[in-house]
Structure 1
Amino acid sequence: MNDIRFGYFPLTVDDVDEALAFYRDAVGLTVLSDVSGNGWRWLSLGTADQPGLAVVLSAPGAGRSPDDADALHRLIAKGAGPGPLVFAATDLDAAFERIRATGAEVLQEPMDQPWGPRDCAFRDPAGNMVRINGTA
């Protein structure tokens, strides 16, 4: 029996409030927790139909040394974060239009991919790539 499952995915952003607006208002995630202390802040966001699974947003300095925070901030500024972060939507076109309407940087409009899914791509405010696969 496999007792391993996905829990959360950390995502470093340069401005937690700006990222919150993108992932909550544009993508449609719900804030699950908002924890801060000693100058750091972590936000967990998820969906009701996938309990226990979350994206955790934090700034480069959250729980890291100043040197590591500076190095990570430079990578984020270049758009060289991990990724892409991939979501799925039953109505890809509606999700695309909702996110585009917020002014998010569009990397790819919805299109059929040779490897299977129909998807689109954006950059979040920190430069992280976000892809959305259609599931319908």
Structure 2
Amino acid sequence: MTTNHITSVSINSVPVLDQDEALQFYSTHLGFEVQDDVDLGFMRWLTVALPGGGVQLLLELVGGPQQDADTAAQVRELVTKGALGGLFLTSSDVHATFAALRDAGVDITQEPVEQPYGTDFGFRDPFGNHIRVSQPAG
């Protein structure tokens, strides 16, 4: 049986290998702002969001309390390979966003391409996570 009471996605986990480096990347290059930065003792709860709120990203350190050492090693390898999914972001000026990231030395995986739904391009964060930025058509 399903429920119709769920109203939104509030937090999406992004696996990272260094939370300080992740915070620097996501804030400096993508404009995210810290929402929560809490030392829980067993882990650091670090969330960021775009200005104005919306979905938060949990910059989750691989190997936290939910993973044993062997699993953490496997997850680190998958993150580095870019094999754990990714993020899809929207830009009001995809070409300017692309140029800024390219000029900052970000690992671009695909230059802007016209698609039926708009224009998009791809890049990777410092850990290997795939990110796509699109500007919808029309």
TM-score (norm 1): 0.86
Alignment-derived partner of residue 61 in structure 1: 63
Which residue, out of 81, 100, 111, partners 1:109?
111
- Taking only aligned residues, the RMSD between alpha carbons, in angstroms, comes to 1.9
Gaps of 5+ in 1: none
Cα pair 1:81 1:127 within 8 Å, conserved = no
Structure 2 residue corresponding to 1:75, chosen from 50, 75, 78: 78
Overall identity of the aligned pairs, in %? 32
- The yes-or-no answer on 1:99 pairing with 2:101 is yes
Deviation at 1:98, TM superposition (A): 1.8
Q: Distance in 2 between matches of 1:30 and 1:126?
A: 19
**Structure showing greater relative contact order (alpha-carbon pairs closer than 8 Å, 6 or more residues apart):** 1
Partner SS, residue 38 of structure 2: strand
* Contact kept in structure 2, 1:40 and 1:61, CA below 8 Å: no
Between the aligned partners of 1:36 and 1:74, the Cα distance in structure 2 is 26
| Alpha-carbon shift at residue 39 of structure 1 (Å) | 5.6
- Paired with 1:53 and 1:122, the residues of 2 have a C-alpha distance of 20
Corresponding residue SS for 1:44: strand
Q: CA deviation at 1:21?
A: 1.5
- The Cα of 1:82 is off from its aligned counterpart by 1.9
TM-score if structure 2 supplies the norm length?
A: 0.85
Could you tell which deviates more after superposition, 21-30 or 34-43? 34-43
**Structure with the greater alpha carbon radius of gyration:** 2
Segments of 4+ moved more than 4 angstroms: none
Equivalenced residues, count: 133
